[in-house]
Structure 1
Amino acid sequence: MLPAKAPDNPSDTPQFSLPEDRRALRTQLLTQRAALADRAGADRRIAEALAELLERLAVHCVGFYWPIQQEFDARAVVARWLGGLPGRRAALPVVIAPATPLDFHLWTPDTPMRAGRYGIPVPDGTEAVMPDALIIPCVGFSADKFRLGYGGGFYDRTLAAQSPRPVAIGIGYEACRVPLRAAPHDLPMEWIVTEAGTIA
């Protein structure tokens, strides 16, 4: 799959205002994501691009996310990646407390799950690990690979706390590509994957 590029006509991309309070922009983008046309086709293309990227990267432990609020579901892609070579591992995030980095615990498709903080499923009793790549959901993202999340700051804190920093792979939809104004604490992704391909 070819890398994504910006549309030739800027009017092809929805333009959003940049309010001082990001909550309005976040609400707008979540509504946009929920109303996507051809969601199945977009998800299929994201899955293809993400699988291709994971095979290219020299990583051994991938942290990803349990999908909520119409996010792309990466579980099938990660499960196939796990089965590709021996020694690969995957992990899901566990929120320990607000305003702290995430912990990651080993996951396979057979891992027992329990309800974590905010009701999001987390692995039940598996080992904590430090991934060398993180697949991170984006409510919105910019062409220079800054992301807008849900506002908790968990992924920014996690990336800032880990040394060496994991490869950060944002997952989003082209309809949610916006001209974000980065905040001082924001950290860019190394990659963004959308239904149009990968942005490096």
Structure 2
Amino acid sequence: MPRAALRRQLLALRGALPQRPTADAGIEAALAALLERLPVHRLGFYWPIQQEFDPRGVVSRWLAGAPGRQAALPVVSRPGAPLDFHQWEPATPMVAGHYGIPVPDGTPPLLPDVLLIPCVGFSEDKFRLGYGGGFYDRTLAALAASANAPVAIGIGHEACRIALVPQEHDLPMDWVVSERGVF
């Protein structure tokens, strides 16, 4: 199936998931446990769109769990470039960024050591299917070439686990979290 059609199918499936609160609670518990066992100091995450799991509660609690922790949201600085990340706290003022997705207003840049990355779909071998814009692919590729390569954690719903043949530019996630746990 062409990737565009597969995306549409998975987005419709995600939007109609039965028992969504139970699934999201499972993702939240698994993600919180993983973040506590990894040496995370600067956490990059995403603002939820299109029925994605909302990580803001987990991130807020993680921030409050120990001094010195920082979180950041992605910002599209220019087309075709890797994402920039800017510091975020629950009280951070937000403005509409590219595609209308909220971004921090006037906060400093921050280089995450762990990235939470939304998955439209994901495979058993931890490759993800995103929205097709290549933003996270470019970001992971750029950071993988540096000494500051972040740990990549894909976040998705189990119903969207699929057989996926990776494309040449795809990089696997280090971890994937679904309502069934962490792998």
Settle same-fold status: TM greater than 0.5. Answer: yes
Match of 1:191 among 167, 175, 180: 175
Match of 1:176 among 152, 160, 163: 160
Match of 1:125 among 95, 102, 106: 106
Cα distance in 1 between the residues matched to 2:107 and 2:69: 16
Which contiguous aligned blocks of 4+ residues in structure 1 show a shift greater than 4 angstroms? Answer: none
Q: In angstroms, what is the RMSD of aligned CA positions?
A: 0.6
Q: Identify the residue that residue 9 of structure 2 maps to in structure 1.
A: 28
Are positions 1:61 and 2:42 aligned together? yes
Name the SS for the 2:31 alignment partner.
Answer: helix
Cα-to-partner distance string for 1:18-75 (whole Å, 9 max, x where unaligned): x2x3100000100110110000000011000000000000010000000000000000
Structure 1 counterpart of 2:156, one-letter code: G
Match of 1:79 among 60, 66, 74: 60
How many angstroms does 1:165 deviate by?
1.1
**Which of the pair has more CA radius of gyration?**
1
- Give 5+ residue unaligned stretches, structure 1: 1-18
Structure 1 counterpart of 2:123, one-letter code: S
Structure 1 counterpart of 2:87, one-letter code: L
Cα distance in 2 between the residues matched to 1:124 and 1:42: 32
- Give 5+ residue unaligned stretches, structure 2: none
Name the SS for the 1:169 alignment partner.
Answer: strand
Match of 1:99 among 80, 105, 112: 80
How many angstroms does 1:111 deviate by?
0.1
TM-score of the aligned structures, taking structure 2 as reference length = 0.97
Structure 1 counterpart of 2:88, one-letter code: W
Are positions 1:40 and 2:47 aligned together? no
Structure 1 counterpart of 2:139, one-letter code: T
How many residues align structurally?
180
